[in-house]
Structure 1
Amino acid sequence: MGTVRKTRLTRIAVALGAAAVLVACSPGGGGAAPELTATSSPVPSAAPTPTPAPTASPTPTPSPSPVPQTDEARAAALVAGMSTIERAGVVVMGHAPGTDPAPLVGLLESGPQGLILMGDNIAADPDAQRLVSDAVASSATPAPLIAIDEEGGDVTRLPWDGLPSARELKGADPSAVTAAFDARADLLGAAGITVNFGIVADVPPDEGSFIFSRAYGTDPEIVADAVRAAVAGEGDRILSTLKHFPGHGAASGDSHSSIPTTDETYDEWMGSDAVPFAAGIDEGAELVMVGHLRFTGVDERPASLSPEWYRILRDDLGFEGVAVTDDLGMLTSSGEAAYADPVANATSALGAGADLVLTVVGASAEEHARIVDGIAAATERGEIPADRLAEAAERVMTLRLAADPGE
């Protein structure tokens, strides 16, 4: 994997200089005139033959060494050359069933430029899985992002992942969390997967919470230590994702079938549920997954569609990476009529500040294509500002460049 974290996304400047000093000196000489006699004609003394001065060769002007471009600069150049529909494809991640690479590549060719692997996409063993991933990766340059939910425990896609999960790691020393995610990153890398939607930063209030078995504890500081350790464990081999911002613990309920709601205020959130997300961001997580969670003390809209929550993520927590929505199919399954249209949800999320929209549940190849077309059309109509779509595409393309081993 190429460089990803801030500490490794640096610009290297090289300057060369040259100087030449040429010293030319001409030798001089002369002799005394010979004595003259009456019978002799004066013989003029021979003039010394001048030694030609050396001709100075012009000093060559050194060619400046090329300055390597950062992934951000390269991404901006790539996006600048794209059409609106191409940019729309960059910001959509979809899913197609099965382990046959042909339909998976076909999905990417139909519009979406990212792929999430679910349980039905997992082959019999790591070698077979790598063949699937390699076929997908070779379908575009730079390679599309290939993501997976690999938390361990309750949410495990790879049958050969027997590593400890949050259930076993609650209250453990952070070094144990680092070791688990270090080994998990090896498994994912060997399978050709580049993004893990696998670090749960939620702080459930108690054991009765929907998210409790997948969280690292009920104390914000303990969860923050575990989140920081998980990001460090994945290192520069896998793109790390924190979820489910701004916190599934505060908003009780299952977001797969409803929109969990809390009246927690911003100040309360900053002192509790925000703490693990801030820790993971400071550690260098490249993605934050924004959940379909309603914090009425901040915004009546679900966070995934809320400009205010994206502002908080950027301005208050200092996140500069890719903000990805939780599966938009979950939002349409909430039963709320306002969120029944997947295309409208995708355009609203991007307009609010999302960089990558994820669509899995109930999404066919035709629906994926409709979402990409809808994003492009909304941009052409001005509903999504053109620079907002470009910004999102640049962020996603930066990750693709960083994660592509061929780049």
Structure 2
Amino acid sequence: MFSESFKMLLLGTLTLSQFVSMMSIEQKVGQLFLFGFQGISYNDQIQLLIDKGVRGFVIFGRNVKDKDQVKELVEQIKTHCDDIPPFVAVDQEGGMVARIRDIFVPPNAMLLGSVNDTELTYKVGYLTGKALRDLGINMDFAPVLDVNSNPFNPIIGVRSFWNEPTRVATNGVAFFKGLLSAGVIPVGKHFPGHGDTDTDSHTSLPVINKPESNFIETDVSPFKIAVENKIPALMTAHILLPFWDNVPATISKKIISYLREKLGFDGVIISDDMLMKAVSEGKSVKEAVKQSLLAGVDMFIIWKDLETQLEVADYILQEVKNGNIPEEVIDNAVKRITKLRLLAYASELNELDLQVEKIWEEISDGIALCKGNFSLEKDKKYLIFFPYNPGVSIVQERAYTREYITSLLKKEGITFKLVKYNLRSTPYRYIKTIKKASTYDGVIIFTMDTYRNKYSAELVNLLIHENKNNLLIAIQSPYDYLFVKDKELVNAYITTYDWNEYLAIRLLDYLIDNTPLKGECILTKGGI
């Protein structure tokens, strides 16, 4: 199945250094990449990359039809890599970032942070890894170890476990250990910390201007603890830290050296996508990869564009041959990558008997009541607004279009009128219904990512002026409340941190049966 040298490496009759020394420079360079590709089945593009020595592939939403198709695709990739086992990676953080949706999908990390039960977080990590491993996927770009200290962060938010480092660290470690116990390589991200940005690095370079001591104490802390707990791989952030260096972290030798030397990390360092504007603006992708490689990064994600992928691989190969990149740099990277490959291939599965429904019941305890109280009564009528057609970010590949509550409310005999409102449309298209809000016994407004969907904040403001018995429910970002103009008129505020049928059921338990909500509101510190 594999080359004789890799078999000898597995058996321990060949050392890592000996194994790497037997590889050609072309084979070594091919180890450095994690490439995306087009299509939902094995094709000529994948074969071409394999022929170039590439042994790392990333599954994106464009490659997914369903789990059976993904499993077949992964099997084909592995079959055609007959010398060493390839990495097949995916972004399966959970919640808003999950490329494969018909398997176990963990919640947004912040919901787990609200529960703050590391045993539960470990189980969720395990179930996530097991679902991926069953498809042949052996690497997950998770967990997010960023501390979401900026509530206006447009790209991290609920992907983070919390807004303070200890909770992020303990839950992050639990999640990555769960992944590992299921035989999947975790990749913690985004070092040295993307949580205090107000810019999306997919489109421009975020700059964090805060004191060095504060950044190290807060943002770097979860990564330090993850390293101490032997996380095997970390992903870099395309962010600028002026106190540290004048180039983005991914291409900063100072910052990567800090990770290696100060924090003692000896695992694999993986770049975030090298096509992102934050790192590729003003320079070619191939030059950015070269700078990053010389800074100490081991592997590079390029999520699309076959022409660019081949150009980068050829350029790095030529630069090594020309002596502009020392072969020792390549050898050291390949040794770390091979060590990680062995971990992915030879890891033993820890079989746990877990019931998904029971796990989701525990997860749903993270729903938090942030302000006031609200209840539904059978002899009264309610007006409910629920969003659809949300603005979808680059990292978000699902839309929260299923409301789940209609059937639940009907089953309980609650009288209500449901209005599905378009997040991208002015609320004044619903003005007639809004003006009648005062005729109802209560109004419930579901919101989603108001920072991105500004019309919903305007809708909320109009409705809370019409009916004082109102409930605002944020089904993803808990910070939606902050965007409401007349906050004092919000009677009650709940954040679910995520949305699915399990969370809808738990929400209705509170609204109808007054079952207390156990989660913690992340806004409490800021005063609400």
CA displacement at 1:155 relative to structure 2: 0.4
CA displacement at 1:209 relative to structure 2: 1.5
| Structure 2 match to 1:69 | 12
| Structure 1 match to 2:190 | 244
CA displacement at 1:196 relative to structure 2: 0.5
| Structure 2 match to 1:137 | 78
Q: Is 2:152–2:198's contact at 8 Å kept on the other side of the alignment?
A: no
CA displacement at 1:343 relative to structure 2: 0.7
| Structure 2 match to 1:256 | 202
- Report the Cα distance in structure 1 between the residues aligned to 2:34 and 2:52, rounded to whole angstroms: 12
| Structure 2 match to 1:401 | 342
CA displacement at 1:405 relative to structure 2: 5.3
Q: Compute the RMSD of aligned alpha carbons.
A: 2.2
Q: Deviations over 1:6-43 (max 9, x none)?
A: xxxxxxxxxxxxxxxxxxxxxxxxxxxxxxxxxxxxxx
User: Which structure shows the bigger proportion of residues in helix conformation?
Assistant: 2
Q: What is the SS of the residue equivalent to 1:226?
A: helix
Q: Is 1:94–1:116's contact at 8 Å kept on the other side of the alignment?
A: yes
Q: Deviations over 1:308-350 (max 9, x none)?
A: 111111111111110000000004x66731x3x0111111111
The aligned amino acid for 1:197 is F
Match 2:253 to one of 307, 315, 322: 307
- Report the Cα distance in structure 2 between the residues aligned to 1:381 and 1:79, rounded to whole angstroms: 20
Q: What is the SS of the residue equivalent to 2:141?
A: strand
Identity, in percent, stands at: 26
| Structure 2 match to 1:325 | 271
Q: Is 2:42–2:77's contact at 8 Å kept on the other side of the alignment?
A: yes
> Against the structure 1 CA distance between its residues 250 and 384, is the aligned structure 2 distance closer, same or farther, given a 3 Å change threshold?
farther
| Structure 1 match to 2:286 | 343
Q: Is 2:89–2:138's contact at 8 Å kept on the other side of the alignment?
A: yes
CA displacement at 1:406 relative to structure 2: 11
Q: What is the SS of the residue equivalent to 2:275?
A: helix
- Report the Cα distance in structure 1 between the residues aligned to 2:336 and 2:65, rounded to whole angstroms: 30
The aligned amino acid for 1:206 is N
- Report the Cα distance in structure 2 between the residues aligned to 1:246 and 1:149, rounded to whole angstroms: 19
CA displacement at 1:77 relative to structure 2: 2.3
Match 2:180 to one of 235, 258, 266: 235
- Report the Cα distance in structure 1 between the residues aligned to 2:165 and 2:293, rounded to whole angstroms: 29
The yes-or-no answer on 1:217 pairing with 2:158 is: no
Superposed counterparts of 1:68-87, under 5 Å: 69=12, 74-87=15-28
Superposed counterparts of 1:36-185, under 5 Å: 69=12, 74-102=15-43, 103-125=45-67, 127-140=68-81, 141-160=83-102, 161-172=104-115, 173-185=117-129
> Against the structure 1 CA distance between its residues 132 and 170, is the aligned structure 2 distance closer, same or farther, given a 3 Å change threshold?
same
Q: Is 2:248–2:279's contact at 8 Å kept on the other side of the alignment?
A: no
Match 1:188 to one of 124, 132, 141: 132
> Against the structure 1 CA distance between its residues 391 and 224, is the aligned structure 2 distance closer, same or farther, given a 3 Å change threshold?
same
- Report the Cα distance in structure 2 between the residues aligned to 1:292 and 1:222, rounded to whole angstroms: 24
- Report the Cα distance in structure 1 between the residues aligned to 2:129 and 2:290, rounded to whole angstroms: 33
| Structure 2 match to 1:357 | 300
Q: Is 1:91–1:357's contact at 8 Å kept on the other side of the alignment?
A: yes
CA displacement at 1:265 relative to structure 2: 4.0
> Against the structure 1 CA distance between its residues 67 and 86, is the aligned structure 2 distance closer, same or farther, given a 3 Å change threshold?
closer
The higher-RCO structure (CA 8 Å, 6+ apart) is 1
Q: Is 1:111–1:368's contact at 8 Å kept on the other side of the alignment?
A: no
- Report the Cα distance in structure 2 between the residues aligned to 1:220 and 1:184, rounded to whole angstroms: 23
| Structure 2 match to 1:269 | 215
- Report the Cα distance in structure 1 between the residues aligned to 2:210 and 2:148, rounded to whole angstroms: 13
- Report the Cα distance in structure 2 between the residues aligned to 1:109 and 1:67, rounded to whole angstroms: 23
> Against the structure 1 CA distance between its residues 67 and 307, is the aligned structure 2 distance closer, same or farther, given a 3 Å change threshold?
closer
Unaligned runs of 5+ in 1: 1-65
> Against the structure 1 CA distance between its residues 147 and 300, is the aligned structure 2 distance closer, same or farther, given a 3 Å change threshold?
same
Unaligned runs of 5+ in 2: 1-8, 349-528
State the TM-score, normalizing by the size of structure 1.
0.77
The aligned amino acid for 1:292 is H
> Against the structure 1 CA distance between its residues 282 and 358, is the aligned structure 2 distance closer, same or farther, given a 3 Å change threshold?
same
Q: Deviations over 1:141-188 (max 9, x none)?
A: 221111111000110111123332214212221222111111001101
Q: Is 2:142–2:176's contact at 8 Å kept on the other side of the alignment?
A: no
Q: What is the SS of the residue equivalent to 1:97?
A: coil
| Structure 2 match to 1:383 | 324
The aligned amino acid for 2:12 is Q
Q: Is 2:93–2:106's contact at 8 Å kept on the other side of the alignment?
A: no
Q: Is 1:153–1:167's contact at 8 Å kept on the other side of the alignment?
A: no
CA displacement at 1:268 relative to structure 2: 2.2
Q: Deviations over 1:275-312 (max 9, x none)?
A: 11112222221110011111110011100000111111
